């Protein structure tokens, strides 16, 4: 059974189509990067998966209809919003106790272990913490839930690099058994591309690319083309081109790598570079 199965999922807000016939499957044990610019529909899709919004089409999460089975679904899901949901008047110790009381799969020791890497004290009031510390607390609380599915909406905004790295390490330790699934919505994907098994690119509510990490490695290549070879390389149909020192960087999808190697140095494109290229191509109307 797929962890998430979406067929023709559509969500309208008045005349605005926030999700436009989304088709996505997520198998158990996958770590999915849901990548898109602001307004692409990432948060709306996550909210639909959580049963916070009704949608048209068919959507199943852990075998359940999120809108109708939300109470049952919440026992198996952990969610981190892009804004803090922890009440400011609570002390940190009270926030931990509250999470332990309301979620049947919460493990206090895991949250406390993650907090040990921060400067957050158990007696601190949430309202007195910095924005970054509140983000750290929210992530630590979410990581304390032994969830079959974790949904993260821009989880590391405002966090310092050391804590981001520690969070991703713990995330991978948590889900290394292959029985848990993570969906991370973000528009800054390069720092976590090493841990992703799947990519889904969204723009204007539509899926414009979906592929596994293996397919990404096989399909896409970037070439630093020397000026004297530029026209020959362009004849091979790059999907994007951008300036570089002593030449141009051309990005290809499914091209002959042996031939491309004659024109310059090959390298794997960053996910961010690929995303920018795919977005530009989509908005220009290219097929």
Q: Dihedral of the CA atoms 92, 96, 99, 102 (nearest 10)?
A: -110
pLDDT for 74 beyond 80: yes
Q: Name the pLDDT band for 59 (thresholds 50, 70, 90).
A: very high
Q: Look at residue 175 in the predicted model and tell me its pLDDT.
A: 64
What pLDDT is recorded for position 102? 85
d(Cα 4, Cα 183) in Å, to the nearest integer? 10
DSSP 51-74: TSS--EEEEEETTB-TTTSHHHHH
Identify which has the larger pLDDT, 173 or 236: 236
Rg of the chain, C-alpha, whole Å: 21
pLDDT band of 287, cuts 50, 70, 90:
low
Long-range contacts of 199-202 (CB under 8 A, 24+ apart): 199/32, 199/33, 199/35, 199/271, 200/24, 200/32, 200/33, 200/34, 200/35, 201/35, 201/36, 201/275, 201/278, 201/279, 202/34, 202/35, 202/36, 202/40, 202/41, 202/42, 202/45
Select from 73, 34, 42, 66 the least CA-distant residue to 52: 66
Band (pLDDT 50/70/90 cuts) for residue 225 is very high
pLDDT score for 286:
60
Give the Cα separation of 188 and 56 in Å (integer). 29
Report the percent of the chain where pLDDT is more than 90: 56
Residue 267 makes CB contacts below 8 A (sequence gap 6+) with 221, 222, 223, 224
Cβ-contact 263, 223 below 8 angstroms = yes
CA distance 47 to 158: 22
Q: What is the pLDDT of residues 92-120, one digit of tens each?
A: 999 999 999 888 889 898 898 888 878 88
3-50 residue pLDDT tens: 999 999 999 999 999 999 999 999 998 999 999 998 999 999 999 999
For the CA atoms of 239, 282, 217, 197, the dihedral, rounded to the nearest 10 degrees, stands at 170
What residues does each domain of the chain span? 4-204, 216-284
pTM as predicted: 0.89
Task: Say if residue 246's pLDDT is above 60.
Answer: yes
Identify the pLDDT of residue 284: 85
* Token pair in block for residue 2: 């797929």
Contact 50, 66 (CB under 8 A): yes
Q: How do 149-153 and 181-186 pair as beta strands?
A: parallel
Average pLDDT, the chain: 89
**pLDDT reported for residue 259:** 93
Output the pLDDT for position 86: 82
CA distances from 271 to 57, 85, 211 (A): 30, 30, 12
Element (H, E) at 242: strand 240-244
247-253/240-244 β-pairing:
antiparallel
- CATH code that applies to domain 4-204: 3.40.50.300
């Amino acid at each position: 059974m797929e962890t998430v199965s979406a067929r023709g999922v559509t969500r309208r807000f008045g005349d605005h189509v926030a999700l436009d016939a989304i088709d996505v499957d997520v198998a158990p044990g996958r770590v999915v990067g849901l990548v898109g610019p602001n307004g692409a529909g990432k948060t709306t899709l996550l909210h639909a998966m959580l049963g916070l919004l009704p949608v048209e089409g068919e959507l199943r999460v852990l075998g359940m209809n999120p809108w109708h089975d939300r109470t049952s679904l919440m026992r198996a899901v952990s969610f981190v919003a892009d804004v803090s949901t922890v009440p400011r008047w609570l002390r940190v110790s009270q926030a931990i106790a509250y999470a332990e009381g309301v979620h049947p799969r919460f493990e206090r020791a895991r949250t406390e272990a993650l907090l040990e890497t921060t400067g957050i004290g158990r007696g601190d009031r949430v309202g007195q913490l910095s924005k970054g510390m509140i983000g750290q607390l929210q992530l630590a609380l979410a990581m304390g839930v032994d969830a079959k599915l974790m949904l993260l909406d821009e989880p590391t905004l405002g966090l310092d690099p050391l804590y981001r790295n520690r969070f991703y390490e713990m995330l991978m330790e948590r889900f290394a058994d292959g029985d848990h699934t993570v969906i991370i919505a973000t528009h800054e994907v390069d720092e976590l591309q090493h841990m992703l098994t799947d990519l889904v690119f969204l723009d204007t509510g539509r899926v414009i690319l979906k592929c596994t990490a293996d397919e990404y490695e096989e399909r896409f290549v970037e070439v630093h083309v020397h000026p004297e070879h530029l026209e020959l390389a362009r004849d091979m149909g790059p999907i994007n081109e951008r300036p570089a020192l002593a030449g141009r960087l051309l990005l290809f999808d499914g091209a002959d790598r042996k031939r491309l190697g004659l024109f310059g140095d090959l390298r794997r494109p960053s996910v961010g570079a690929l995303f920018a290229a795919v977005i530009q191509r989509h908005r220009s109307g290219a097929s």
